[in-house]
Amino acid sequence: MTRDTAIAKATDYFETGRFQTDLANLVTYRSESQKRAPEARAESRRYLDEAMLPRLEAMGFSCEIIDNPDPRGGPLLLGERTEGNDLPTILTYGHGDTVLGQDSMWQDGLGPWQLTEDGDRLYGRGTADNKSQHLINIAALEAVLATRGHLGFNTRIVLEMSEEVGSVGLPEIFRTHKARLTADVLIASDGPRLQPDVPTMFMGSRGGITFDLLVETHEGAHHSGNWGGLLADPAMILAHTLACITDARGQILVPEWRPDSLTDTVRAALRDLPVAGGDGPAVVADWGEESLTPAERVFGWNSFAVLAMVSGVPDAPVNAISGWARATCQLRFVVGTDPAEVVPGLRRHLDAHGFDKVKIELHDRGFFSATRLDPTHPWAQFVGASIRETAGELHVLPNLAGSLPNDSFTDILELPTIWVPHSYRGCSQHAPNEHVLKPVCRDGLRVMAGIFWDIGEKTVPRG
């Protein structure tokens, strides 16, 4: 039995339609972690009990489903498959929770809770984030196990149901159960490939903090003719507040938000990476930090975004000056930004510009710190070589542009972290019409089967 045999088994799993059938089943679970209703929490538990537990136990995993210590979060599954104390141990991870389904907003013929195939696309909530991704990795492990009769390494798995609310409770679980989660490396999948036809590997992620800016000027709304020029307009104050955070092209003006970690080594790693082209919107060349390339802006720098803003009643405006305005904002930040200084730094900046009455309200959810592993790390070199052997090409990122609970793996479990994503940037993640591409899923199965085969076959980094 050979490496090619294992890859062929993983490929057959896709080409016979079993992957699509299994993914269709996973999509039916309405595991919306942003809903805190009892029925939503029960659905998250059902996903672990019914969809994950039997499959893992059939592979020889001993598993335990643990209640989340944080009341905002859903349950977690911890599993372990041991073949020998002298063998390397791989930790893998996935999350079965999704963002809200947004049922009424999907295009005709599509819906969040059933898998719909249209050409090369498989539509459904969680297809990209993250149900297909951990399904691919589990199936790749099965392919190696079926080929060799054993994996050749020990495996531990964490499946959580709270990633979309900031992985609340995950750090506490990791601290409590650290001894049973020891490993040599994390190898997991989330996020998109840089380009759909070339595998991507990244070793960390940007951090993320979400907060509201709130301006309150007076009680109620008052006639804009009778009171115009007499009452402060909160929407105008909010607009000027936002304008002092970045300039007109989105360059960050808050001193504490400008990182110092874009080193020559990171620049070299990002130099030839293609961020334009492929599906999704066109990259705007004259947006963001002017002195940086597009790849440096998204992978090596911080970005500020206004996710939503409102004043008055946008759907039914009246001739009145509202008494309030609110913007929901987010900072994505790289290593070199102190997360403890994000809000205090903004507070000082706003005060210095005369916006001391603008309130900053952090969202009631967890946030992720920024992480990054050197691309020359032995595990990055090992996994990168395996992917190239299977697929030929590989894009290597120091960190993902989005955010993941990677800091729990690096800071608490003290692991090197390798992520191999199986989605692509045009997948409509967190939006209506979420989907994965069938060629990427097929390729992901082959790549992961190769990685897992090589870990059991070759000398791997230890310690």
* Per-residue pLDDT at 366 exceeds 70: no
Question: What is the structure's pLDDT at 252?
Answer: 98
* Per-residue pLDDT at 338 exceeds 80: yes
Confidence of residue 265 (pLDDT cuts 50, 70, 90): confident
Question: What is the structure's pLDDT at 37?
Answer: 78
What are phi and psi for residue 277, nearest 5 degrees? 85, 175
Closest CA to 213 of 168, 254, 181, 179: 254
Q: Burial-class residue 154 by CB neighbours within 10 Å (0-12, 13-18, 19+).
A: buried
pTM of the model: 0.89
Closest CA to 440 of 55, 157, 127, 145: 127
For residue 86 the two structure tokens come to 């002298």
Q: pLDDT tens for residues 185-194?
A: 999 999 999 9
Confidence of residue 1 (pLDDT cuts 50, 70, 90): confident
Domain annotation for the chain: domains and CATH numbers:
3-205+371-457 (3.40.630.10), 217-272+284-362 (3.30.70.360)
* Per-residue pLDDT at 42 exceeds 70: yes
Closest CA to 131 of 419, 450, 434, 368: 434
55-to-19, 20, 67, 104, 150 alpha-carbon distances in Å:
14, 16, 20, 33, 16
* Per-residue pLDDT at 358 exceeds 70: yes
Mean pLDDT of 14-33: 98
* Per-residue pLDDT at 365 exceeds 80: no
Confidence of residue 463 (pLDDT cuts 50, 70, 90): low
Q: Where are the alpha helices (DSSP H) in 72-209?
A: 132-148, 170-176
By percentage, how much of the chain surpasses pLDDT 90?
90
Average pLDDT, the chain: 95
What are phi and psi for residue 76, nearest 5 degrees? -130, 150
Question: What is the structure's pLDDT at 39?
Answer: 84
In this structure, the dihedral spanned by the alpha carbons of residues 331, 206, 284 and 251, taken in order and rounded to 10 degrees, is 40
Q: pLDDT tens for residues 281-322?
A: 889 989 999 999 999 999 999 999 999 999 999 999 999 999
Q: Burial-class residue 332 by CB neighbours within 10 Å (0-12, 13-18, 19+).
A: buried
Question: What is the structure's pLDDT at 276?
Answer: 81
